[in-house]
Chain A
Amino acid sequence: MSTTATTPARHSTIRNALPALTGLGTLVAFFVVMELLIQTGVLSRFIIPPPSEIFASFPRVIVEEHVLARFVQTLTECLTAGVMLTVFGVAGGVLMHRFKLLQQACETWVAALASAPVVLCYPLFLVIYGRNAWTIIMMGFVSALPPVILKTLEGISGTRKVLVNVGRSFNLTPSQQFWKILFPAALPTIFVGIRLGLIFALINVVGVEFLINFGGLGQLINELAERYDLPGTYAAICFVVLVSVLFFMVLEKAERWLTRAE
C-alpha cells in the first residue's frame, strides 16, 4: 500500500527535478569538455585557462585580493546610489503625477533618457567629481534614475478607480488621498522600479569601476587582467557574475516579501 502511494510521488519529484538537473548537468559537462580540450592542447591555455585552474585560483583571489573589502565597497556604492534613486526617483514620479502638465511635458524625455547610453558620460563625471567613489555612485544613480521615475508614475497613475472613489466618498484631503490611497496602491510597482534601479546601479557601478580602474570588484578584474593573471581574471569574473546573480535573487525575494506584507 505504502509503495503504491509513494512511487507516483517519487516519480513526480524526479520529473520535477529533471529539468534543473539537466541544466546543471549541461554546465558540468561544459566545464569537463573545456578542461579536456585545453588539456589536450586543442584550445590554447594561454587564452582560456583550464576550469580546474580557475576553480583553484578562487581561494587565492579571495584571500590575496581582499575580495571581501572590495565587495563591501561595491555594495556600499551601489546602496548609496540606491538610496538616492529611491528618494529622487520616487519624488520625481510623485511630482510628475501631481502636476499633470509636468508629466505631459517631461514623460517622453525621461523615457528617451532611459534608452540613451547615459553611462557613456563617465568621462564627464570623471572631470566633474574626480577619480573617486562619487563618480561611480553618481554614474550608477543617473543611469538608473529613469526607470524608477517611470515605474513610480506608472504605479500611481494605475491606481484602481474604485480606490480613488472610495477616498473621495470619505472626503479625504489631497494629502490623505495620497498617503492613504495612491501611495499604498502604487507601492508594489514602486518596488519593481527600485529593484530595476538597483540592478541598473549595480551594472553601472561595476562597469565604471572596471573602466576607470578604481574601487571594488570591477577594479579587481581590471587589475588581474592587466597583470595577465588569466586564471585569476576568469575567477574574478565568475565571482562578480555570482555576486550579481545573488544580488538579483535577494532583491527579488525582498520585493516578494515586501509586496506580500502589503
Chain B
Amino acid sequence: MADTSRITPVAAPAPLMGPVTLLRVAIILTVLAVWEFLSHSGWLYRDVVPSLIAIGHAIFDLLAHGEYYFNLAVTAGEVGAALAIGGGLGLVVGIVLGVNRFLAKAFESYLYYLGPTPKIIFFPIMIMWFGVGPGSKIALGTLSCFFPVALSAAAGMRQIDKVLIRVGNSFRATTAQMVFKIYLPAMRHPIINGVRLGLGVALIGTLLAETKLSNKGIGFLIINAYSTFDMPRMYAMLIVLFILSIGANAIVGRLGGLDSIKRS
C-alpha cells in the first residue's frame, strides 16, 4: 500500500495539439472550406472569390518571378527612406519638445491634432514638389511617420525617471553622455513603439501613393492587377504583403523588447 502511494503518477502524454491550436486550425480550415465552396457555388460574381488553387498558383507565380522582387525592393527602399527621414526628424523634434516645456506647450498640440489627419490627401502637393517618381512616395511616407515618432519620443522623454537624470548629473556626464547613456536607453521602449507605429503608417502612405500614381512598386502591381482584373494575382499580392508587413512589425517590436514588457 505504502509502495503504491510512492509511485509517482505518470504524466499524461502531452496532446499533439493544445485546444488553442486545435481551434486555430479549425477556424483556418473552416474559412478555407467556406471560401472554396463559395468559389465553386457561383453565388458570387465570377472571379471575385477565385479558388484556393488559383490563389496558391498565383502566389507561387508571384514569388517565382524576379519582377516581384524588383518592385518589392523599390517599395522597401521608399519605405526605408521615409522611415529614416521622417523617423529621424520625429526623434529630434520629439526630444526637443520633451526637454523644453515651453516649446511643448507651444507646438505639441499642433502635432497631436495633425497626427491623425489623413495624409494621402497631401499627395497632389507632393507630386507637385517632388515629381511623379519615388520622391513623392518617400515624401508622403515621411509625412506619415513623422508624427507618431515625434509624439512617442516627446512622451518618452518626459517619462524618464528623474533619478536616472540626477545620477547622470551627479556623475557630471557630458550632454553627449547624457543622451547616449541616459536618455536614449531610458526611452528605448517608447521610441521603438513610435518607430513601429511610424513603420505602419509609412508603409500605408507609400503604398497608397503608389496605387494612385506610379509605374513601379508593390502598390503599382496591386492596382495593375485590379485594372487587368487578375483577381488571383491581387489576392496573392495582398496575402504576401500582409505577411511581410506583419512580420516587419513583429521584428521591430521584438528588437525593442516590446513583447517582454507585455509579458511582465
**A residues touching B (Cβ–Cβ < 8 Å)?**
18-20, 22-23, 26-27, 47-48, 101-102, 104-106, 112, 115-117, 119-124, 126-128, 199, 202-204, 206-207, 210-211, 218, 221-222, 225, 230, 233-234, 237, 240-241, 244-245, 248-249
Q: Mark B21-42, 1 if CB is under 8 A from A, else 0.
A: 0011001000000000000000
With A127-B48, A233-B125, A249-B113 already in contact, the answer to whether A19 and B102 are too (CB < 8 A) is yes
**B121 is contacted by which of A106, A122, A237, A249 (Cβ under 8 Å)?**
A237
Q: Mark B191-224, 1 if CB is under 8 A from A, else 0.
A: 0000010001001100110011000000100110
Task: Indicate if the CB atoms of B211 and A105 lie closer than 8 Å.
Answer: no
Instruction: Tell me if B's interface is mostly helix, strand, loop or mixed.
Output: helix
Task: Indicate if the CB atoms of B121 and A218 lie closer than 8 Å.
Answer: yes
By a CB distance below 8 angstroms, the chain B residues around A210 are 118, 120-121, 123, 212
Asked if B133 is an interface residue, CB under 8 A from chain A, the answer is no
Q: Could you list 11 examples of A-B contacts with CB < 8 Å? A: A18-B102, A19-B102, A105-B24, A117-B203, A119-B208, A123-B222, A126-B226, A240-B118, A244-B116, A244-B118, A245-B113
For the complex of A and B, the 5 pairs showing the least CB-CB separation, nearest first, are A19-B105, A225-B124, A123-B226, A23-B106, A19-B106
- Determine the distance from Cα of A115 to Cα of B203 in the docked complex, in whole angstroms: 10
Task: Indicate if the CB atoms of A244 and B117 lie closer than 8 Å.
Answer: yes
Q: Which of A123, A241, A248 has the most CB of B within 10 A?
A: A123
Chain B: how many interface residues by the 8 Å CB criterion? Answer: 51
Task: Indicate if the CB atoms of A124 and B118 lie closer than 8 Å.
Answer: no
- Determine the distance from Cα of A261 to Cα of B66 in the docked complex, in whole angstroms: 59
- Determine the distance from Cα of A215 to Cα of B129 in the docked complex, in whole angstroms: 26
Q: Write the nearest CB–CB distance from A36 to chain B, whole angstroms.
A: 19
**B20 is contacted by which of A26, A105, A240 (Cβ under 8 Å)?**
A105
Task: Indicate if the CB atoms of B246 and A120 lie closer than 8 Å.
Answer: no
Asked if B180 is an interface residue, CB under 8 A from chain A, the answer is no
Task: Indicate if the CB atoms of B121 and A101 lie closer than 8 Å.
Answer: no
Q: Write the nearest CB–CB distance from A145 to chain B, whole angstroms.
A: 15
- Determine the distance from Cα of A47 to Cα of B127 in the docked complex, in whole angstroms: 10
Q: Which of B121, B223, B250 has the most CB of A within 10 A?
A: B121
- Determine the distance from Cα of A245 to Cα of B111 in the docked complex, in whole angstroms: 11
Asked if B139 is an interface residue, CB under 8 A from chain A, the answer is no
Task: Indicate if the CB atoms of B208 and A120 lie closer than 8 Å.
Answer: yes
Task: Indicate if the CB atoms of A117 and B118 lie closer than 8 Å.
Answer: no
**B219 is contacted by which of A102, A120, A222 (Cβ under 8 Å)?**
A120
Asked if B19 is an interface residue, CB under 8 A from chain A, the answer is yes
Task: Indicate if the CB atoms of A120 and B204 lie closer than 8 Å.
Answer: yes
Known: A22-B102, A117-B245, A124-B238; 8 extra A-B contacts, CB below 8 A, are A19-B103, A105-B23, A106-B24, A115-B196, A115-B245, A203-B117, A245-B114, A245-B117
Instruction: Please give me the residue from chain A that is nearest to B229 by CB atom.
Output: A127
- Determine the distance from Cα of A112 to Cα of B196 in the docked complex, in whole angstroms: 12
**A240 is contacted by which of B24, B48, B121 (Cβ under 8 Å)?**
B121
Task: Indicate if the CB atoms of B107 and A127 lie closer than 8 Å.
Answer: no
With A20-B105, A23-B107, A120-B238 already in contact, the answer to whether A101 and B20 are too (CB < 8 A) is yes
Asked if B175 is an interface residue, CB under 8 A from chain A, the answer is no
